[in-house]
Amino acid sequence: MAISRLRFTQTKNTALTKQQRRQMAELLALGKEESARIRVENIVREDIYIELLEMLELYCELLLARIGLLEKKECDAGLEEAVKTIIYAAPHTDVKELSVIRDVLAHKFGPEFTQAAVTNEDGIIPEKILKRTAVEAPSEKLVSLYLKEIAKAYDVPFSELDEEEEEEEKDGGLDEESDDDSGEGGKPIVVENPDDGPTLEERLTTPRKLSAASMPLPDSQGSPISVRPPHKTSDNPHPVVKIPQDVAAQVARKKRTSDAGLKKKDGDTDLDALRKRFEALKR
């Protein structure tokens, strides 16, 4: 029952915070930033409360999964954190079923155990639970962050968001200027010393190892290296592989030569066959 109630409360509060966010967007659209800054604190507190309920739901599921261990007289070490956290945090919620579980656990393990949980003597209560049960106003930074996110989500003006966008535009302009100046007044171009590496003759005579290529079989045709065509993009819907003009001309000449050789070979074959037929007729 407590788990179901916790989930229902989370769903209900989440729907309420969505309505409040719309109201904050309307205030920002009307230019009432001070009013929105005050009222957005309720949204911050509701979100923190929802996070607390989510954590307590996990602890309740843990108790349900290990309910057999609760029959022991002493609290099991694997359940001590969950039991003490529920005893500590239940008064900070409005879920009645969770308060009932707290009373049952307090009666089960005694007043000393309950007092240790309430005061967190052994420091077993997680820090995230302590922060979400603390009663304090949200920081100005968190309030501004909430208002910025609301302004972005609902596309409404907000002074701090506009200032942030202007700063980003200025930074982008400075980056572009620095990129333009880098060709003349930027870092000097470092030229490697040719004596440090192999000479041109050595590079030409040394065979290269093609790790990604394999030699074709004797009967197979084609190049051992294949070129993957470029992918289609919005800027280039019909991509093609660009080949240098000199290479393309050389390939075209080789193709014409090979085609001519094949035609000549076919012609010689036909002539030989015709001569054989004439000789057969003479006989």
The residue with greater pLDDT, 253 or 94, is 94
pLDDT tens column, 100-157: 999 999 999 999 999 999 999 999 999 999 999 998 888 999 999 999 999 999 999 9
Residue 206 lies in a domain: no
Same domain, residue pair 34 and 143: yes
Mean pLDDT of 255-269: 61
Instruction: Kindly report the backbone phi and psi dihedral angles of residue 265, in degrees, each rounded to the nearest multiple of 5, phi listed first.
Output: -65, -40
pLDDT at 196: 53
Winning range, highest mean pLDDT, from 31-35, 182-186, 249-253: 31-35
The residue with greater pLDDT, 201 or 25, is 25
Alpha-carbon gap, residue 217 to 226, rounded angstroms: 15
Same domain, residue pair 10 and 134: yes
Same domain, residue pair 143 and 7: yes
Between the CA of residue 93 and those of 78, 88, 152, 244, what are the distances in Å? 24, 11, 32, 74
Nearest Cα neighbor of 53 from 19, 23, 97, 21 is 97
Alpha-carbon gap, residue 252 to 141, rounded angstroms: 69
pLDDT at 89: 95
Same domain, residue pair 142 and 26: yes
Give, for 201, the enclosing helix (H) or strand (E). Answer: helix 200-205
pLDDT at 213: 43
What residue spans of 90-158 are helical by DSSP H?
96-119, 127-133, 140-154
Q: pTM for the full model?
A: 0.58
Domain boundary among 120, 154, 188: 154
Residue 30 lies in a domain: yes
Give the pLDDT band of residue 200 (cuts 50, 70, 90).
very low
What CATH number is given to the structural domain containing 130? Answer: 1.20.1260.60
Overall domain count for the chain: 2
- Is there a contact between 66 and 79 (Cβ–Cβ < 8 Å)? yes
pLDDT at 189: 44
Is the confidence at residue 235, as pLDDT, over 50? no
pLDDT at 2: 84
Same domain, residue pair 145 and 23: yes
Of the chain, the end-to-end C-alpha distance in Å amounts to 112
Domain boundary among 123, 154, 185: 154
pLDDT tens column, 30-75: 999 999 999 999 999 999 999 999 999 999 999 999 999 888 888 9
pLDDT at 174: 55
Same domain, residue pair 150 and 19: yes
Residue 212 lies in a domain: no
Residue 117 lies in a domain: yes
Residue 222 lies in a domain: no
Containing domain of residue 275, as a range? 246-283
pLDDT at 10: 92
Structure tokens at 219: 């009967």
Residue 216 lies in a domain: no
Is the confidence at residue 206, as pLDDT, over 60? no
Alpha-carbon gap, residue 1 to 22, rounded angstroms: 32
Residue 48 lies in a domain: yes
Domain boundary among 128, 154, 180: 154
Mean pLDDT of 172-195: 51
- Is there a contact between 83 and 75 (Cβ–Cβ < 8 Å)? yes
Same domain, residue pair 8 and 113: yes
Is the confidence at residue 259, as pLDDT, over 90? no
pLDDT at 11: 93
Q: Kindly give, in sequence order, each residue whose CB lies less than 8 Å from that of residue 112, ignoring residues fewer than 6 positions away.
A: none
Cβ neighbours of 53 (radius 10 Å): 21
Residue 176 lies in a domain: no
